[in-house]
Chains A and B, each alone.
Chain A
Amino acid sequence: MTITPSSLARHLADICGSAHAVEDPAQLACYQIGESRPRAAARPASSEETAEIVKLAAAEGLALVACGARSKLGMGMPPRRYDLALDLARLNRVIAYDPGDLTLSVEAGIPLSLLSGELHKHSQFLPLAVPFFRSATAGGSVASGVDTPLRQFYGTARDYILGMDFITGSGVLTKSGGRVVKNVTGYDLHKLMIGATGTLGVITKINFRTFPLALEPRMFAASFADAAGALALRNLIADSALRPLTLDILSPVTAQVFSGNGAAQIEPGPLPSGLFPDSSWHLVAQFAGNETVRRRNESELERMAHEARAARVANFAMDEMEGLAGRIREFVPIALGNSPATTIIKIGVLPSRMDEMLASCERAARDNNLRWAGVARGVGIILAALLPDELNEDSARRVRRATEQIAESAATLGGSMTVPWSPAAWKSQLKVWGIDREDFAQMKKLKTFFDPQGTLSPGRFAGGL
């Protein structure tokens, strides 16, 4: 069988029905990545249909990009080839939820916000407080590897995904792991799918471990004249018996951006009053526990904040803190909304190097005359948004220079740096995936093994994989 451009949609319709095979260019606009728009889109209703489509694409040498709510298609590099959008939004069922076992099995296209309502009925939740939360799907959040403030306590998806079903680049539906909380049977292939931006497999089902909702979470905030003070408090907390659920350090511009209208459009919850009046750095952390635990947490935090020379401290109850927690979760879309040329950098360094890394971000921004906003997680992850005023050549040049400076510092400090978001036109000039790692040859082996023909999102991942 050879598929002509005109017959692709017909073949897709044979698999998932004509209502779910899209070829109308106007309808295809929503799948566009950078400059490239697919020739067709398919919306399968089951993992079997999905596998059929991947098989068809592989047989015909077509390239496809799997997507859910399409909120993170802009991440990574644009695909080298893009014939077909594989829209998994109809794979949106809860397959099994056993609250007594704290296990959950869902199809990849289910929106997290929907899931969260279901879990709350049983006083449980998934710690995937990811950006674009209101629309994001489980599969997209996992495949894109976006992180969550709750990683401070709960770890990342890799720590609570128990198993997966996925489709290889040849269209074979397979699985790894299982549905029990402890399991070492077979290779953990599902770990490879996390953060692989769909380049190794199309995730169709995910088995999660769920968690009991934290008891009466509260938020503690302290403001400081500089980053060093906030980091000093971070270190005191790390060295104490306290176990915060989240711990984020916000740069002064982050606080300003959070107070703006753009932020309120994305996260409408009100901010605690009087929190961000000036150009301070802030440390914001969530804690949970009953009344006695809360008193202990708050008194120790206040003592430590004082030791770290905090200018002010404040405690907030659940209803007061949601707007701020939501903005920290939505830092990426809020920053993207702040400027048409926002470029977001993700850095991983050892916590003890965060002071140097933040200073380097500050320096790179200043040297290149850029505004920047940052969120530094206590575990050693920094999200830095470069915020040029305009989308033009000059901004591109300044952003490129700043990212190079930051990449160099991250490498010197033994860390890594990527540029997950930037204007599409700039991507070819930026080191989107940072510096090639020494184990790249092994990654290439994986890509060749799982996707020998380059059917799955070719070129979107590190090193052109």
Chain B
Amino acid sequence: MDSRILQELKSLLGPGNVRHAREDLLLYEYDGSVEIARPDCVVFPQTTAEVAGIVGVARRTGTPIVGRGAGTGLSGGALAREGGIVIVFSRMNRILGIDIPNQRATVQPGVVNADLSAAVAHAKLHFAPDPSSQRACTIGGNVAENSGGPHTLAYGVTTNHVLALEAVLPTGEICRFGSAALDATGYDLTGLMTGSEGTLALVTEITVKLTRLPESVKTLLAIFNSVDDATETVVDITARGITPAACEMLDGWTLRAVESYVHAGFPVDSAAVLLIDVDGLREAAESQAAEVAEVCARHHAREVRVARDERERALLWKGRKNAFGAVGRLSTTYYVQDGVIPRTKLPQTLRFIGAVGKKNGFEIGNIFHAGDGNLHPIILFDARDPEEFRRAVATADEIIGYCIEMGGSITGEHGVGMEKDRLMPLLFSPSDLEIMRGLRDTFNPGGLLNPGKVFPSKKGCGEIHARPLPLGGNAADAEMKRTTDLPRA
């Protein structure tokens, strides 16, 4: 990178907040996805004014900029695909205000998701979106990706909880959208910015709704001898108008991987389990738990366990939330997909995934948000073998193709990023993409903010083209990626 740019950034932020040595940059060239892209420099602003200053430098010098939280994203959203400056928000990590009576909080983007919930737990409140990476991922990242989590089934995804934003626009302007009070006048710019994957603005302050913790939560573990029985149970629970707070499925293969790592008490000889939370008033949770148990039994659950206390509950959920870490112990690399299907299509889709894995010679585990039809098939592969990597991606694409055929979508909560840009034309027409791209260019005119994301590259517009090999076959890089144990999904 041009030394004059570095000099400018250093005088703006202080030399300690600008890193450009190779060994520093290596830490920021990956995220939770299978992609790799190395920035030219990494900066750590502490104020909104500093962020605006960085944007100013980038604009004057035509340097790409990418925002980054904890780097737990699963679609390459925080990677510097075209090099340039990565703005890491880890030092903008203050909770700026908590308003208990109104159930609001205002935070800087680098605040860790779980830290906000911990900070308001004394008032029986929490920040409802709960990605499995919530102990590491940041709220800024959640806003960029519109993150979900197991409990979004009942509580909604990030966008349902964001009320107002302060952001630095690619033009360098600092702007506020929305308000802590509901129904701010004007177009819903907060809704547009949330989930725009860092392509429209850099969010520097976030006002969110806090949600009251339920009085009672019942956690059920339903154990099945067949995947079909488990998926049929999910369909039936939905059809009966029961809305659990969470309804997660782990198949037998994943269970065994998790159990040997977490010892959550999952039955290793079963074909699938459903991990279901029902919550609300004590009386409501109890009656719903009984209803859910009955539906499970009707679909041949071999056993339905109800967590007896908070410790048992926490252990079962620890098994779920650490599942991806457990899988990491089994394979050099794995590829997590994020397809969505209508819930009624779960049984045939799971059968399809099994068949596709068998056909292409991959082990595919399934651990996912069954209640809202958000699949996370995990394809194990060895990234050091470029041919195997290509086949793994082709397998994932086959699964995504099937999801779309079922009326679904290519991403439920991980985002498009650089992972799925080439799949966008499967869902959107060239003209649809032209409009979205035009809107991006309206806010991000030079295209310097997070370039190469969400939209297929211009030349390939409207067609799917061969995916480049992101790991580059570099053994050292692959090795580093393998040993990175980040919380995921």
B48 interface residue per 8 A CB criterion: no
Check if B186 sits within 8 Å of A462, measured CB to CB: yes
Q: A99 and B239 in contact (CB under 8 A), knowing A348-B181, A416-B181, A438-B175?
A: yes
Q: A175-B428, A180-B372, A185-B424 are in contact. List 5 more A-B contacts (CB 8 A).
A: A182-B369, A352-B102, A416-B183, A418-B185, A440-B186
How far, in angstroms, from A184 to B454 measured CA to CA in the complex?
11
Contacting residues of chain A (160-181) with chain B, CB-CB under 8 angstroms = 168, 172, 174-176, 178-181
Contacting residues of chain B (413-429) with chain A, CB-CB under 8 angstroms = 413-416, 420, 424, 427-429
Check if B183 sits within 8 Å of A346, measured CB to CB: yes
Check if B181 sits within 8 Å of A98, measured CB to CB: no
How far, in angstroms, from A414 to B428 measured CA to CA in the complex?
40
Check if A350 sits within 8 Å of B281, measured CB to CB: no
A371 interface residue per 8 A CB criterion: no
Contacting residues of chain B (268-309) with chain A, CB-CB under 8 angstroms = 280-284, 287
Check if A183 sits within 8 Å of B340, measured CB to CB: yes
Contacting residues of chain B (397-426) with chain A, CB-CB under 8 angstroms = 407-416, 420, 424
Check if A439 sits within 8 Å of B188, measured CB to CB: no
How far, in angstroms, from A297 to B215 measured CA to CA in the complex?
13
A27 interface residue per 8 A CB criterion: no
A241 interface residue per 8 A CB criterion: yes
- Shortest Cβ distance from residue B272 to the other chain A in the assembled complex, whole angstroms: 20
Contacting residues of chain B (23-74) with chain A, CB-CB under 8 angstroms = none
Question: Contact partner of A102 among B238, B374, B436, CB < 8 A?
Answer: B238
Question: Contact partner of A243 among B196, B281, B340, CB < 8 A?
Answer: B281
Check if B185 sits within 8 Å of A293, measured CB to CB: no
Check if A188 sits within 8 Å of B195, measured CB to CB: yes
B203 interface residue per 8 A CB criterion: no
Check if B442 sits within 8 Å of A187, measured CB to CB: no
Check if A289 sits within 8 Å of B283, measured CB to CB: yes
- Shortest Cβ distance from residue A358 to the other chain B in the assembled complex, whole angstroms: 14
Chain B residues positioned under 8 Å from A426 (CB to CB):
none
Check if B101 sits within 8 Å of A352, measured CB to CB: yes
- Shortest Cβ distance from residue B89 to the other chain A in the assembled complex, whole angstroms: 20
Check if A290 sits within 8 Å of B287, measured CB to CB: yes
Q: Mark B96-117, 1 if CB is under 8 A from A, else 0.
A: 0001011110000000000000
Chain B residues positioned under 8 Å from A289 (CB to CB):
281, 283-284
- Shortest Cβ distance from residue B343 to the other chain A in the assembled complex, whole angstroms: 5
Check if A182 sits within 8 Å of B179, measured CB to CB: no
A101 interface residue per 8 A CB criterion: yes
A292 interface residue per 8 A CB criterion: yes
Chain B residue, CB-CB nearest to A184: B146
Chain B residues positioned under 8 Å from A242 (CB to CB):
281
Chain A residue, CB-CB nearest to B180: A350
Check if B238 sits within 8 Å of A100, measured CB to CB: yes
Chain A residue, CB-CB nearest to B123: A239
A437 interface residue per 8 A CB criterion: yes
How far, in angstroms, from A181 to B372 measured CA to CA in the complex?
6
Chain B residue, CB-CB nearest to A346: B183
The residues of B with any CB-CB pair to A shorter than 8 Å are 99, 101-104, 145-146, 148, 152, 156-157, 159-160, 169, 175-177, 179-189, 191-192, 194-196, 212, 214-215, 235, 238-239, 241-243, 280-284, 287, 340-344, 369, 372-374, 407-416, 420, 424, 427-429, 431-432, 435-436, 438-440, 442-443, 454
Most buried by A among B438, B439, B440: B439
A373 interface residue per 8 A CB criterion: no
A296 interface residue per 8 A CB criterion: yes
Chain B residues positioned under 8 Å from A175 (CB to CB):
428, 432
Chain B residues positioned under 8 Å from A101 (CB to CB):
238, 342-344, 373
- Shortest Cβ distance from residue A119 to the other chain B in the assembled complex, whole angstroms: 12
Check if B284 sits within 8 Å of A182, measured CB to CB: no
A191 interface residue per 8 A CB criterion: yes
Chain A residue, CB-CB nearest to B442: A449
Chain A residues positioned under 8 Å from B287 (CB to CB):
290, 292-293
Check if A439 sits within 8 Å of B182, measured CB to CB: no
A349 interface residue per 8 A CB criterion: yes
Check if B179 sits within 8 Å of A416, measured CB to CB: yes
Check if B102 sits within 8 Å of A442, measured CB to CB: no
Chain A residues positioned under 8 Å from B432 (CB to CB):
174-176, 186
Check if B413 sits within 8 Å of A184, measured CB to CB: yes
- Shortest Cβ distance from residue B341 to the other chain A in the assembled complex, whole angstroms: 7
The residues of A with any CB-CB pair to B shorter than 8 Å are 98-103, 123-124, 145, 147, 155-156, 158-159, 168, 172, 174-176, 178-189, 191-192, 194-196, 200, 212-213, 235, 238, 241-243, 289-290, 292-293, 296-297, 346, 348-353, 379-381, 414-416, 418, 433-434, 437-443, 445-446, 448-449, 462-463
How far, in angstroms, from A302 to B99 measured CA to CA in the complex?
27
Check if A241 sits within 8 Å of B214, measured CB to CB: yes
Check if B283 sits within 8 Å of A292, measured CB to CB: yes
Check if B241 sits within 8 Å of A123, measured CB to CB: yes
What are 7 A-B residue pairs whose CB atoms fall within 8 Å in the complex? A172-B435, A183-B340, A189-B435, A212-B241, A292-B283, A350-B99, A353-B181
Instruction: List 8 tightest A-B contacts by C-beta distance, closest first.
Output: A212-B241, A191-B191, A241-B215, A101-B342, A100-B344, A348-B183, A182-B412, A292-B283
- Shortest Cβ distance from residue B161 to the other chain A in the assembled complex, whole angstroms: 10
Check if A192 sits within 8 Å of B412, measured CB to CB: no
Chain A residues positioned under 8 Å from B407 (CB to CB):
179-180
How far, in angstroms, from A437 to B207 measured CA to CA in the complex?
17
How far, in angstroms, from A51 to B344 measured CA to CA in the complex?
33
Q: A379 and B454 in contact (CB under 8 A), knowing A123-B241, A180-B373, A186-B424?
A: no
Chain B residue, CB-CB nearest to A168: B435
Check if B411 sits within 8 Å of A184, measured CB to CB: yes
Check if B374 sits within 8 Å of A187, measured CB to CB: no
Most buried by B among A175, A183, A196, A443: A183
Q: A182 and B152 in contact (CB under 8 A), knowing A414-B180, A437-B186?
A: yes
- Shortest Cβ distance from residue A89 to the other chain B in the assembled complex, whole angstroms: 26
Chain B residue, CB-CB nearest to A183: B409
Most buried by A among B148, B159, B283, B424: B283
Chain A residues positioned under 8 Å from B186 (CB to CB):
433, 437, 439-440, 443, 462-463
How far, in angstroms, from A463 to B429 measured CA to CA in the complex?
33
Chain A residue, CB-CB nearest to B147: A184
Q: A449 and B101 in contact (CB under 8 A), knowing A182-B374, A379-B182?
A: no
Chain B residues positioned under 8 Å from A241 (CB to CB):
212, 214-215, 280-281
Chain A residue, CB-CB nearest to B343: A101
How far, in angstroms, from A293 to B374 measured CA to CA in the complex?
31
Q: A180 and B442 in contact (CB under 8 A), knowing A102-B238, A416-B179, A439-B176?
A: no
Chain A residues positioned under 8 Å from B415 (CB to CB):
184
- Shortest Cβ distance from residue B202 to the other chain A in the assembled complex, whole angstroms: 14
How far, in angstroms, from A434 to B103 measured CA to CA in the complex?
26
- Shortest Cβ distance from residue B385 to the other chain A in the assembled complex, whole angstroms: 30
Check if B196 sits within 8 Å of A187, measured CB to CB: yes
- Shortest Cβ distance from residue B33 to the other chain A in the assembled complex, whole angstroms: 14
Chain A residue, CB-CB nearest to B199: A187
How far, in angstroms, from A180 to B413 measured CA to CA in the complex?
12
Check if A179 sits within 8 Å of B159, measured CB to CB: no
Check if A381 sits within 8 Å of B427, measured CB to CB: no
